[in-house]
Chain A
């Protein structure tokens, strides 16, 4: 079996831990970029800032990265297609529509926006799934992909309508900002609502990671190897989509993480999901924490997180393509 370098494993685990610890002190208080750790003991404001704003935000950023990257890895395995991303089954565009609708109807209450985004993310998924069941041609992969494309297009045109209707001075900037993604509004209470479900979803994916290899084989082979193919694939799909929808509902649209991180993970530790899934989780968390550190501390104003993940994600993608690191065999 392919031996992986012990150093790589140690780095994959150590880098996120060190990064998380350092990130607590990165920010714009008391002065740009760095909060001296000893201030935690003397400065009431610094302590409260770190514990009540930075810590939940960091946890959310790491969970967001873990969720998007592992959900992306699961879908790329199940759909046997390295170019699918976790929100493509109507989830991302559904959430965007839900958030926009809430901003238009209710106003800028983070809880209302989050709930509406969650509801429409799952509506997008349910709609895609039901539509796929009504199609009578192609295998299940093709049917789900087609349905996902159609439903996403429907919701994204809905988002267009909402933008058109929105008040250009108040509501429109808010919709646009939400669509660009960010963790600026995360609090412990938001996080604690989604946390149990996200952890269950991540646990299912982590525990079934070797099985994922079997489920990525053709239907007949997976069946001949004793898998209850449809049931097990559905369970993993639900876990992946649920964590994506929940994290999108609190973070907005944070692109490219679910597409690019699984590729990097496979490059580092090989395609065997037993290793690629944990690697994707750690790398995804690390990538989003770095992007979010930049988003909240580089400039005096917040940079939307989605812009940074897309920028760095796309750059990484281009580098990997040029370096011929993304191989697809047909």
Chain B
């Protein structure tokens, strides 16, 4: 018996406008609590759309999404934001906030529109920085950090929100090898503390390293969803990416290779 899913999609479809065809459809999958799920697929497969549906930003054209066993629709805006945090693909900070000032913004689900953060909020934000191991950056200006550090700061902001589900949109896509490792390790450690981690990626390697569940997507459809051992196969990945893919084991880690030579 598996635990009650913390997030579930039942035959969900969505289109960006009434007169446009569905961008994603027949989305079906369950996600157990404290798991790490990779939404894996090529560019344009609908991964971000799926995350935005889970966030409640988009309303499905049909089907239902449940969060913690209740329909997502039944949550109030602020209540839902205490459940689900987001690390977006591109965070745009118009002005030069300090790291701590930015991370404190993660407390807003617990504050009314007229409230100001109090010392407790600030200490929770500092704890989030400490959890990720970047407390030493608290007084730095976000813009002056490296790409990898900024990504960690954004994760800390989402953690200050104390969410039960953390959505990350392509968290490693523009990072170098070392920074990618740091982010993946952070996500791995977060799941150990009981946070359900769901991330989109087009990179099978990032998925294979930490995910215990995978949702394979292509052209707005879910091709397969389930435990990583079952889903991460040459046949299924080849279908997902539309090119021949091989899966090899290196020291117990599964790696996807695109097997074609150019000369």
Question: What is A's interface to B at a CB cutoff of 8 Å?
Answer: 1-2, 77, 80-82, 207-208, 210-211, 213-214, 216-221, 223-228, 232, 266, 270-272, 274, 327, 329
Contacts and interface: CB of A to CB of B under 8 A. Distances in A.
Contacts of A226: 77-78, 80-82, 108-109
Nearest to B113: A211
A80 B97 CA distance: 13
A272 B101 CA distance: 7
Given A210-B116, A213-B101, 13 more contacts: A1-B100, A2-B139, A81-B94, A210-B117, A218-B90, A219-B57, A220-B86, A223-B55, A223-B57, A225-B81, A270-B96, A270-B98, A327-B96
A224 B105 contact: no
B80 to A, nearest CB: 8
Interface of B: 52, 55-57, 77-78, 80-82, 84-86, 88, 90-98, 100-101, 104-106, 108-109, 111, 113-117, 122, 139, 143, 158, 161, 167
Contact of B88 (A207, A221, A271): A221
B91 A221 contact: yes
Indicate the member of A207, A223, A232 with the most B CB atoms within 10 Å.
A223
A70 B78 CA distance: 27
A223 B211 CA distance: 26
A227 B114 CA distance: 12
Contact of A216 (B57, B94, B116): B94
Given A225-B161, A270-B98, A214 B105 contact: yes
A274 B116 contact: yes
Contacts of B143: 329
Contacts of A77: 94-95
B91 A224 contact: no
Contacts of B95: 77, 82, 216, 266, 271
A306 to B, nearest CB: 28
A225 B105 contact: yes
3 nearest interchain CB pairs?
Answer: A226-B81, A271-B95, A224-B86
A219 B91 CA distance: 10
Nearest to A3: B139
Contact of A2 (B91, B98, B117): B98
Contacts, number: 96
A205 B94 CA distance: 19
Given A210-B117, A232-B113, A224 B101 contact: no
Contacts of B56: 223
Contacts of B116: 210, 274
Given A220-B52, A223-B57, A213 B105 contact: yes
A217 B81 contact: no
Contacts of B93: 217, 329
Contacts of B80: 226
Contacts of B115: 210
A82 B94 CA distance: 8
Nearest to B48: A220
A220 B54 CA distance: 12
27 contacts: A1-B98, A1-B101, A1-B104, A77-B94, A80-B92, A80-B94, A207-B114, A208-B113, A210-B116, A211-B114, A213-B101, A214-B108, A217-B105, A218-B90, A220-B86, A220-B88, A221-B86, A221-B88, A224-B81, A224-B158, A225-B81, A225-B105, A225-B161, A226-B109, A227-B108, A270-B97, A274-B116
A322 B93 CA distance: 24
A80 B108 CA distance: 19
Of B84, B96, B113, B114, chain A has the most CB atoms within 10 Å of the CB of: B113
A72 B50 CA distance: 37
A303 to B, nearest CB: 35
A145 to B, nearest CB: 14
A272 B97 contact: yes
Contacts of A208: 113-114
Contacts of A327: 96
Contacts of B81: 224-226
A214 B77 CA distance: 15
Nearest to B142: A329
B77 A228 contact: yes
Contact of A1 (B52, B57, B77, B122): B122
Contact of B91 (A218, A266, A272): A218
Q: Which of B86, B96, B105, B143 has the most CB of A within 10 A?
A: B105
Given A210-B116, A218-B90, A223-B55, A271 B105 contact: no
Contacts of B108: 211, 214, 225-227
Nearest to B98: A2
Contacts of A211: 108, 113-114
Most buried by A among B95, B101, B143: B95
B90 A271 contact: no
B117 to A, nearest CB: 7
Contacts of B109: 225-226
Nearest to A272: B101
A220 B57 contact: yes
Contacts of B98: 1-2, 270
Nearest to A209: B116
A217 B100 contact: no
Contacts of A271: 95-97
Contacts of A214: 105, 108
